[in-house]
Amino acid sequence: MKKIIQTFLPIFILSSQVFAIAGFGLNLNKSMYSVAESTSSLKVETVEVATITQHAFDNGLGIGGYLYIDAIPMVDLDIEGSLIISPYEFSFTNLLTSIDKQQFGWVDASGYITLQKKILKLSIPFLAKAKLTAGAGVNSHSSTPMVDQNMMEAVMGGAGNLESGTLDTDELIKFLKENKVSSKGFHIQTGVQFKLLMLDSFLFYRHVIADEVIPGAKGFGSLNLRLGMGF
């Protein structure tokens, strides 16, 4: 046992002297936003034939992965992919059908590219290091549409069926795939990276500025926790 420690300890000590030049791992986040409840009338020409209510929901949980490169002078390059899921409910009423608070979900697949700069460094000799960073970058999103008249027409076989038709789940899945909402924006973020030997962890806050990602909002914030490896 003593020989094993003597063999590998110098390697761990050497790797802890500086932050890794690259790393990868798992990213977990909680996005912070609020979507208000809304009710709309579904019409055929000018005649109201049904009503639909999208009930309020807020926040969402996300999971993804990241890769960073710390070998560029002055700044670090950070690349991340993430999937955010937020359940919500909707109600629908026509002549024959009454759906009360049906469970549904909003999903956003997103990618982030960020340039970061070290603001402050702290270290525990031979063991651990920490640094405060701040950065900015660009992002892209592809999210599912919210329930509305266009969706209901598609999943019920056309506008003529809004008054007395029923939902077709196969058509619903097809509609969601073919009508993704795409958006691009930019973001700023700040947080702390903590490194113990070859283990990396990050805790940071990010604010995203992008239209159409969150219904009725021009952006949202998220608190992120990362766990990974540096090399």
| CATH number for the domain harbouring residue 59 | 2.40.160.20
Per-residue CA distances from 223 to 23, 71, 156 (Å): 20, 26, 39
3-state secondary structure of 131: strand
Q: pTM value?
A: 0.83
Supply the range of the domain harboring residue 178. 2-230
Percent of the chain scored above 90 by pLDDT?
43
3-state secondary structure of 167: coil
What is the 3-state composition of the chain as percent helix, strand, coil, each rounded to the nearest 5?
A: 15, 60, 25
Q: What's the pLDDT tens digit per position in 172-189?
A: 888 888 899 999 999 999
Total structural domains within the chain: 1
- For 184, half-sphere exposure in the C-beta direction (CA atoms, 13 angstrom radius) is 3
Least confident of 30-44, 45-59, 104-118, 156-170: 156-170
- For 206, half-sphere exposure in the C-beta direction (CA atoms, 13 angstrom radius) is 30
Mean per-residue pLDDT, 181-204: 91
Q: What's the pLDDT tens digit per position in 118-146?
A: 888 877 665 578 889 999 999 999 999 98
Least confident of 49-53, 65-69, 77-81, 155-159: 155-159
Geometric angle at alpha carbon 60, from 59 and 66, rounded to 5°: 130
* Residue 213: DSSP 8-state: S
Per-residue CA distances from 91 to 120, 122, 200 (Å): 51, 53, 45
Geometric angle at alpha carbon 181, from 226 and 102, rounded to 5°: 85
How confident is the model at residue 124, as a pLDDT?
A: 67
User: What torsion do the CA atoms of 21, 22, 25, 31 make, to the nearest 10 degrees?
Assistant: 90
What residues form DSSP beta bridges with 125?
none
Q: Which two tokens stand for residue 86?
A: 């937020």
How confident is the model at residue 8, as a pLDDT?
A: 41
